[in-house]
Structures are given as C-alpha cells and as structure tokens.
A = this chain, B = another copy of it.
Amino acid sequence: MGRHKVLNTPAIRRMPTYYHKLMLIQALGDEYVSTSKLAKYMSIDPIVVRKDFELTGATGDRGIGYRVDTLIEAIRNYLGWNKKLRACLVGAGSLGSALLGFEEFSEYGLNICEVYDISEKRIGTEIYGRMVKDVRNVRVSVAESKVEMAIICVPAESAQEVADELVAGGVRLIWNFSNTCLQLPPDVVVQREVIAGGYALLSRKRKEHFS
C-alpha cells in the first residue's frame, strides 16, 4: 500500500456520471456545458464539479462553461479509458449477467471478452454474445487470451481460490464483487465493490432524517 498515491475516491467515483451525462449532452448537439447544469443534475455543489474537473486538467471559460468534447476527452484520459481494457468475468449468475449486459461499459473502454463459470448448466451457453467457459481452465485461458482485468462475481467462499488462479494466469487488476476481502500479492490492484455500502449510506441518512 505504501507506494500507492492517495486517490480522491469520491471525485473519481463521480467521473462515470459526468462522462455518461456529457455523452448524452454531446448527442443532443450541445457544444458547451456549465458546471451549474451538471451540479443541478447530480444534486451537488457547482464548486465540487469544478474541483473534480480540475483533477482531469480540463479548464473552462468564465461565462461560457466547458467545451463538451474537451471535457469528455479529459475524463477519458484521466481514467485511461482511451486505452481499451480486456477483461474476463468469473461467475455468470444474475449479478455477473447483469454486468455483462451493462451497455455503458463499452463507452468506458471496457471489453469483457471472456466469461467463466463452474456450473455445467451455464458452460457452453451464451450470455450477451459471450460463450461461457469452464472456470476449471481459467488460469491457462486468461494467460492465452491476455486479459488484463478480472471481474469476480462468484460466491464468497470460492472467491479467494478463483482470484489466486487468475493471478497465477497473469491478471493484475481485479474488480471483486464477492462478499469477502481477497488477500493477494501487493502488485495486484484490487477494487472491492461492496453493494451494501450504498445501503449503509442510505441507512445512516434514514437514521438522521427520519428517526
């Protein structure tokens, strides 16, 4: 952890929202966008929007706002989304399938090209155009197909074993949706997605507002 820079986590988490909205604004033909418009859309302070954009190096013009195409490019570059990312997904249950169906991922440079599962029922079937492969061959398969990232959606009790195989196959980026913390070598970058994290925030807001 020592060599990792401290990331501005909330700002980075907001980037896909800006990016997706900017793509919609661009599709409508608008050339400029104001921070106040984006702030209103996201129910946040315009100062927050401005600071977030500063991170990406984008600059706006007082009174006119930001050029939409420049902003999109700046965010894409800040997140490295201009460099396509080949990924695999392990565990094609309902959550895994939902992720395979997220069309906006392709906007973000994410190409989930390999899918693995343990169930005989799923192996050999297609989900959103991807053939499900046997997870028992995952180590060799990810090495051959040169995937850089793995999305783990298996039950918590299998997640560590799956992650170890993926890392042995050369994967260095892991997006973990399983309900457990993975213990992996320090050169592997892991992002854990705790869906219940948002529920905890909502729970705390409920407690503050309604009780």
Which residue numbers of A lie inside 8 Å of B, CB to CB? 1, 4-5, 7, 9-10, 12-17, 20-21, 41-43, 45, 78-81, 83, 85, 93-95, 97-99, 101-102, 104-105, 108-110, 148-149, 172-173, 175, 179, 181, 183, 189-211
Copies in the complex: 2
Contact call A201/B102, Cβ cutoff below 8 A: no
Are A205 and B175 within 8 A (Cβ)? no
In whole Å, how far is A88's beta carbon from the nearest beta carbon of chain B? 14
B194 with A195: CB separation less than 8 A: no
Closest B-chain residue to A203, C-beta based? B79
- The listed residue (B7, B13, B205) touching A191 by CB distance below 8 A is B205
Among B45, B78, B204, the residue within 8 A (CB) of A80 is B204
Known A-B contacts A42-B181, A80-B206, A207-B79; the reply to A108 vs B199 at CB < 8 A is: yes
Inter-chain pairs besides A13-B200, A14-B194, A95-B98, 17 sampled, C-beta below 8 Å: A4-B205, A7-B205, A13-B194, A14-B197, A17-B181, A78-B207, A93-B98, A94-B97, A94-B101, A102-B195, A108-B196, A108-B203, A149-B206, A173-B210, A189-B205, A191-B202, A192-B198
Can you name 19 A-B residue pairings with CB atoms under 8 Å? A9-B10, A10-B10, A12-B197, A14-B197, A15-B197, A17-B181, A17-B192, A43-B181, A80-B204, A93-B101, A94-B97, A98-B98, A102-B195, A109-B203, A173-B202, A173-B206, A175-B198, A175-B199, A193-B195
Contact check, A189 vs B202: say whether CB atoms are below 8 A apart. yes
Bound complex: CA A14 to CA B196 (Å): 9
Contact, CB under 8 Å: A85 / B43: no
A204 B7 Cβ-Cβ under 8 A = yes
How far apart are the CA atoms of A145 and B173 in the complex, in Å?
44
